[in-house]
Amino acid sequence: MRGRDPVKVIREAVAKTLVFYYPFAGRLREMAGRKLAVDCTGEGVLFVEADADVTLKDFGDALQPPFPCLEELLFDVPGSGEVLHSPLLLIQVTRLKCGGFIFALRLNHTMSDAAGLVQFMTAVGEMARGAPAPSIPPVWQRELLNARNPPRVTCTHREYDQVADTKGTIVPLDDMAHRSFFFGPTEVAALRRLVPPHLRRSSTFELLAACLWRCRTVALRPDPEEEVRVICIVNARSKFNPPLPSGYYGNGFAFPVALTTAGKLCENPVGYAVELVKKAKAEVTEEYMRSVADLMVSSGRPHFTVVRSYLVSDLTHAGFGEVDFGWGKAVYGGAAKGGVGAIPGVASFFIPFNNTSGEQGIVVPVCLPAPAMDIFVKELQSMLKPPPVPAVVEHIATATSSKTFITSAL
């Protein structure tokens, strides 16, 4: 790719890919009962070309969210951010002074989940490298997840509870602190030591989700009697029989929720939270997904509960970092910041990451009000500190001496 312009290459590749993913070139409309549909108008997507007089090194050694100058790296084109009647994709390619470039993308999430978006981006990469068509043909088939007729809600969906914010506990918009936290093998092992033996085999996602939920709740200091919840994004593509087709690029996930009171969450050991997360994830079955679709139709597409909620999404296997536009794999691939969405501070993403020592792990961006962030950091550090080393004190006496020796054995 020496001498080739990444802006030109990627723009042409996006155009070719949209032939196969033509719904992305349309606009969303709202039908009866608040049902969303794509009007395939062929109006296209937004593409921004930019140059920056900085090098990749100017962004620092550890490339992780939140990224500086994000507003410049993905320009919010005025009037482009609405759900309805707006472009469904906004893409910006920024050339850097060192010869590298930054590819940034904003997606209307009603179109795709992380797996679907990576499938599209992978196709763009293939076209950029000269392929005549995507290796995985895209599958629309949204009817696979249609509601039943008549709809019947058979499962409990507490994630869609209509909760009033009676005590003003929605995270405020101003004075927000954004920080990222790295969890390598050492940190994960430290957290695993905090749970009882029967939970030691819990997945890293379950462990991290529980620990972060607990730390966050401690930091925000809600009333002990108030309900708090963690919403786990669960990929449900394999839950169907047969599974959703491999080329399906719509949303194929559920929002199962674990909930308890703030008092119980903060006062109990972290194993209590892990149990709740595991139970919530296990609820997602094909029947659960059918029930959610029926709830959407019968209740007019409600939004998930954001009051005293924390949403966690695992992107460690999504494959953003594997996308190759012809210049090799990215040095970072994943979310640009945490706390995105209608309510800032609600969401965190688990992103695969190599730290400056070359250690593989997970980086998690967290967004909280500044005073709460200080408490969050202290709480997390107390969980991660190494266990105290036991000291064995021995009293040694001899027949010839009355001296006492105190020795410690590690």
Give the residue numbers marked as catalytic.
109, 324
Locate 109 and state its tokens: 């999430």
Query: Is the distance from CB of 378 to CB of 385 less than 8 angstroms?
Result: no
Buried b (16+ CB within 10 A) or exposed e, 123-154: bbbbbbeeeeebebebbeeeeebebeeebebe
Q: From CA 186, how far away is CA 162, in angstroms rounded?
A: 40
- Side-chain half-sphere of 398: how many Cα atoms within 13 Å? 4
Q: From CA 342, how far away is CA 74, in angstroms rounded?
A: 18
The dihedrals phi and psi of 311, each to the nearest 5 degrees, come to -105, 130
Q: From CA 325, how far away is CA 329, in angstroms rounded?
A: 8
SS3 per residue for 193-237: CCCCHHHCCCCHHHHHHHHHHHHHHHHHCCCCCCEEEEEECEECH
Query: Is the distance from CB of 47 to CB of 91 less than 8 angstroms?
Result: yes
CB-neighbour burial class of residue 405 (10 A; exposed 0-12, middle 13-18, buried 19+): exposed
Locate 198 and state its tokens: 């029967």
Query: Is the distance from CB of 368 to CB of 354 less than 8 angstroms?
Result: no
Nearest to 39 by CA among 24, 50, 56: 24
Q: From CA 367, how far away is CA 176, in angstroms rounded?
A: 7
Which residues 6+ apart lie within 8 Å of 314 measured at CB?
A: 205, 233, 349, 350
Specify the DSSP class assigned to residue 252.
Answer: -
